[in-house]
A and B are shown apart, each in its own frame.
Chain A
């Protein structure tokens, strides 16, 4: 959308047309006592150079972007090729909203179709939607979908799922019938092992892998346990780069895969906007939330893209809609699509391998420091938990003073883990940075 300024003369002209004498009169339907009665507390107009200086000063406070950082926990620092930002800023893409008159927006539908295709290929699922707001709301929608499919209301979710995802999903579903039961992970392995909460009332078993501690769950075994009681198996993935290396959730029996696509070329951006992934098996497609784009052929055999199964959605079905998600995270899904297509199959494998290898190196080095250990025994991808000799908040504060962001203290979310912190290593961390982290901890 273009910004079109108007002059005082033009404003007077418009007011004259509607028969008013001042812009203030436009607000006369608002009672006096709820009007502010003074100008907003906003700085007077600045020169462009002053605006730039002010923005640069603000940006300079964003130290995470410049210091060596080993902070992951749901939002990851990855390299995004310049072409991603360049292409999404084309005005055809940048200014268009989710298509409500979809078939004239063939370019938009085509990239959505490509996005869905790539999500399916990477998750190993049969059908993916045009995206959700973010990983946490996608997970909440998975709860609701599992309830619709199974007609059961008990959701069994591992506490090794991102704590903020669980919080969002609980908020999102609080007025529905969902009964959320959280089950603990094994303190030795970091993995889920006690599945006794599963029963014939369970709609879904919800597991994250790699989980919040970076541990790679045995998805097939968990899928079998969920299926044995007739529940759906929901796999949550917060680190989408892991798809490049790990066995896909779909090939391990997942019924729904949800996750966060931020790692695919999207800036960390203080936590958003990001893009939610949602994929399932075709037999459940009518219970899937969100927009869905399909390919079709016209009477002359020309290929075209169409919105498919719109009859699930609220603009047609109103209160009977499958979900209230009737939009998608268009621009961010486009960025993710361009990222995946730029990286290609080999590129996605390569970046995943670099993450795993660099993290393995860091893990090994840190485990060798006196007083430090790795509390969970299971294999990890690019994140792992470190147990230090003193409270993690103190450990991290001391290395922050040395200019390094060392990770996340687990005590923020997990009471009995005071000395533990989560370290993430991606392809953006150089060996020098890893060595400096190790030195800072020593």
Chain B
């Protein structure tokens, strides 16, 4: 069973969002990391990039595949987890903490509220399983 923390919001593309005011921290879910397998590289955006909701902000490369990662809410990148350059496995080992990928200043914090709750995401996963 996937780990789905209560306090986060989720997208159907398997990204999670932690909201603090108008700042959102974004990563991929435990389910996503498990499906990808061992992550070896994360191609990240740069600080200052402005992205629309559902645009690809980078890609996660695992041993045999590359998957795009989508930004669930529109905003400007304010911080990128550079630590993942050296320890991409953090995405596998600790997807909700050390494995965070980007922080953004949201254009419209309300967008995050419209995302799935933990319960809804869990339901979504079991429905699509």
Contact = CB atoms under 8 A, between A and B. Distances in A.
Contact of A286 (B43, B46, B64, B68): B43
B31 interface: no
B65 A316 contact: yes
15 contacts: A151-B46, A286-B41, A286-B43, A311-B41, A311-B61, A311-B64, A311-B65, A311-B66, A316-B64, A316-B65, A316-B66, A317-B66, A320-B59, A320-B66, A320-B68
Contacts of B65: 311, 316
Interface in B64-78: 64-66, 68
Contacts of B59: 320
Contacts of B43: 286
Contacts of B46: 151
Contacts of A317: 66
A311 B43 CA distance: 12
A286 B40 CA distance: 12
A95 to B, nearest CB: 29
A311 B59 CA distance: 11
**What's the dominant secondary structure at chain A's contact region?**
helix
B44 to A, nearest CB: 12
A298 B59 CA distance: 29
Nearest to B59: A320
Interface of B: 41, 43, 46, 59, 61, 64-66, 68
Question: Which of A151, A311, A316 is the most central at the interface, judged by chain B CB atoms within 10 Å of its CB?
Answer: A311
Nearest to B40: A311
Nearest to A283: B85
B80 to A, nearest CB: 14
Contacts of A320: 59, 66, 68
A317 B67 CA distance: 9
Interface in A286-337: 286, 311, 316-317, 320
A257 to B, nearest CB: 24
Contacts of A151: 46
A121 to B, nearest CB: 27
A316 B41 CA distance: 15
A307 to B, nearest CB: 12
Nearest to B49: A151
B83 to A, nearest CB: 16
B59 to A, nearest CB: 7
Nearest to B41: A286
Interface in A167-222: none
Given A320-B59, A320-B66, 5 more contacts: A286-B41, A311-B61, A311-B64, A311-B66, A317-B66
A295 B46 CA distance: 32
A151 B47 CA distance: 13
Contacts of B61: 311
A362 B43 CA distance: 53
A28 B59 CA distance: 47
Give the 8 A-B CB pairs with smallest separation, nearest first: A311-B66, A311-B61, A317-B66, A316-B66, A286-B41, A311-B65, A316-B65, A286-B43
Contacts of A286: 41, 43
Contacts of B66: 311, 316-317, 320
A151 B46 CA distance: 10
Nearest to B63: A311
A357 to B, nearest CB: 48
A151 B41 CA distance: 19
Interface string A406-426: 000000000000000000000
Contacts of A311: 41, 61, 64-66
B58 to A, nearest CB: 11
B22 to A, nearest CB: 26
A316 B66 CA distance: 8
A165 to B, nearest CB: 30
A311 B88 CA distance: 16
A103 to B, nearest CB: 13
Contacts of B41: 286, 311
A15 B43 CA distance: 54
A282 B66 CA distance: 20
A22 B41 CA distance: 57
Contacts of B68: 320
A316 B63 CA distance: 12
A320 B66 CA distance: 10
A316 B59 CA distance: 13
A286 B43 CA distance: 9
A303 to B, nearest CB: 20
Nearest to A287: B43
B108 to A, nearest CB: 26
A58 B41 CA distance: 55
B82 to A, nearest CB: 13
A316 B61 CA distance: 11
Interface in A255-305: 286
